[in-house]
Amino acid sequence: MASDKDKVVETVIAGSYVEMETEGKPAKDLKSRVSSFFWHGGSAYDAWFSCASNQVAQVLLTLPYSFSQLGMLSGIIFQLFYGILGSWTAYLISVLYLEYRTRKEREKADFRNHVIQWFEVLDGLLGKHWRNVGLAFNCTFLLFGSVIQLIACASNIYYINDNLDKRTWTYIFGACCATTVFIPSFHNYRIWSFLGLVMTTYTAWYLAIASLLHGQVEGVKHSGPTKMVLYFTGATNILYTFGGHAVTVEIMHAMWKPQKFKAIYLFATLYVLTLTLPSASAVYWAFGDLLLNHSNAFALLPRSPFRDMAVILMLIHQFITFGFACTPLYFVWEKAIGMHECKSMCKRAAARLPVVIPIWFLAIIFPFFGPINSTVGSLLVSFTVYIIPALAHIFTFKSAAARENAVEQPPRFVGRWAGTYTINVFIVVWVLLVGFGFGGWASMVNFVRQIDTFGLFTKCYQCPPQAAGAPRLPPPAFTPRLNATAFAPSPSYHHHH
């Protein structure tokens, strides 16, 4: 039980919310105005574009694969369910950020040259043990999130130019993605976030329309779900899809008025659902069980200028998303070596380079596009995005004084504090059992089978075999005999007529 003195202190530092920052002053000359318009963003619209464009990237191409594992009905239900859960935990993170920042600013803390991150929020509100756990999960998730983007780049470019194998493309794009070390902060993603959303929108509707125009392949089967392992692997890929808010705190910190963030993630998720549901449903309708052995939807669609455009746009978008996932890692590394408040961008960029090297290396070791998403979702996203924020909210506001003086009171439509507590407990139990438990088991079984089938450092994951000097094979046949398990086909399986 807290003493009267502790209660007084708590009341003083957790009072009503005070506006944190005033909106940026308008630029005077033309050059500054143009630079500000394209580059320097901190509005609610910028945050919405950042959330919506960052939430889906290469995962658009793996959701049809998840539908083939789950079946159409379960695929749709899980997208809606995890979309709601993801929006709720993003709201919890925003509440905890506002609580932390308000308390620190009342202690005269200055954040003009410091980017607040999730582990610092946990440290300030709950102590160093929470900070260490949050830092470990968040950094590992962002590390593998960056790895996935790099794998996706190599997987996609192969469908335009297969003169080089996917591993060689990974080397090339690893070098290209290293240029993200020069992006200062999330303030500078305005034009990239807008373009990223345009790119994912085009790709999603290309997948949907191209699949409908192609029609169902001969003898198409929609047998999913057939196995528990496949079912929970697909479910955790969708959990990963709507768990893209490991950078929520950094996006909020880049806002002029971070208190406006509360519903932004929900609106971003609603827009993303208009992209993911039609595209995944249409591709699964057209190709059915063939997707079990083609984790990238581009592999089944015939080559056309529209498909090439979608591939190119997704490559550019994956570069943007790589920067999104890597920038928080850069911040953590800068703070660890004492370079975070250095004003020279060149020195900071040089200091950031060691972060890119392990990402590059891991993408070459585990190039399993699709299965790696489910593994990361079950083992990392489940804690980083769902369990830790829900538990942190419960423990931050466990005392009556903390609830009474909270900067943000829970909304009435969820039942205030009692309703919020109930929802948080449900999320912790559900994600721990279904996401981490069953999902972790299924994803690891699937991942190990990829290693057994293709091996580590595989040169060209799920590529068709080609004899030396043989002509290029035509697009995939659409009536192969699926293997019995459909976990990971043997290399000789692909393009079997």
pLDDT attached to residue 28: 52
- Residues sharing a CB contact under 8 Å with residue 127, sequence separation 6 or more, in sequence order: none
Q: What is the pLDDT of residues 86-140, one digit of tens each?
A: 999 999 999 999 999 988 888 887 777 788 888 889 999 998 999 999 989 988 8
With a pLDDT cut of 70, the percent of the chain lying above it is 81
Distance, in Å, from the CA atom of 236 to the CA atom of 18, rounded to the nearest integer, reads 39
> How would you label 315-350 residue by residue, b for 16+ Cβ within 10 Å and e otherwise?
bebbbbbbbbbbbbbbbbbbbeeebbeeeeeeebbe
Is pTM beyond 0.95? Reply is no
In a domain, 492, yes or no: no
Contact 105, 404 (CB under 8 A): no
pLDDT at 233 over 50: yes
461 vs 374 pLDDT, higher one: 374
In a domain, 363, yes or no: yes
Q: Residue range 151-175: average pLDDT?
A: 77
Q: What is the pLDDT of residues 416-439, one digit of tens each?
A: 899 999 999 999 999 999 888 888
pLDDT attached to residue 234: 85
The number of angstroms, rounded, from the C-alpha of 160 to the middle of its chain's C-alpha atoms is 25
pLDDT attached to residue 473: 43
pLDDT at 33 over 70: no
Question: Looking at the 3D structure of the chain, how many domains does it have?
Answer: 1
The least confident of 69-83, 154-168, 353-367 is: 154-168
Distance, in Å, from the CA atom of 313 to the CA atom of 452, rounded to the nearest integer, reads 33
Q: What is the pLDDT of residues 190-228, one digit of tens each?
A: 788 888 899 999 999 999 999 999 999 988 888 878 888
pLDDT attached to residue 459: 64
pLDDT attached to residue 417: 92
Distance, in Å, from the CA atom of 85 to the CA atom of 83, rounded to the nearest integer, reads 6
pLDDT attached to residue 64: 92
Whole-number average pLDDT of the chain: 79
In a domain, 158, yes or no: yes
In a domain, 468, yes or no: no
Q: What's the CATH number where 295 sits? A: 1.20.1740.10
pLDDT attached to residue 461: 63
pLDDT attached to residue 465: 62
In a domain, 485, yes or no: no
Q: What is the pLDDT of residues 387-416, one digit of tens each?
A: 999 999 999 999 999 898 888 888 888 888
Distance, in Å, from the CA atom of 344 to the CA atom of 342, rounded to the nearest integer, reads 6
> Vertex 257, ends 187 and 185: CA angle to 5°?
15
pLDDT at 3 over 70: no
281: left (phi over 0), alpha (psi -120 to 50) or beta: alpha
247 vs 491 pLDDT, higher one: 247
Contact 59, 66 (CB under 8 A): no
In a domain, 470, yes or no: no
Q: What is the pLDDT of residues 280-313, one digit of tens each?
A: 999 999 999 888 888 888 888 988 999 999 988 9
Give SS3 for 199.
helix
pLDDT at 32 over 70: no
Distance, in Å, from the CA atom of 165 to the CA atom of 183, rounded to the nearest integer, reads 30
In a domain, 25, yes or no: no
| Best CA proximity match to 439, nearest among 151, 294, 233, 218 | 233
What DSSP designation does 494 have?
Answer: T
pLDDT attached to residue 471: 44
In a domain, 497, yes or no: no
Is residue 104 packed enough to be buried (19+ CB in 10 Å), middle (13-18) or exposed (0-12)?
Answer: middle
pLDDT attached to residue 467: 37
Q: Which domain holds residue 406?
A: 41-454
With a pLDDT cut of 90, the percent of the chain lying above it is 24
SS (H, E, C) 145-193: HHHHHHHHHHHHHCCCCCCCCHHHHHHHHHHHHHHHHHCCCHHHHHHHH
Distance, in Å, from the CA atom of 63 to the CA atom of 91, rounded to the nearest integer, reads 25
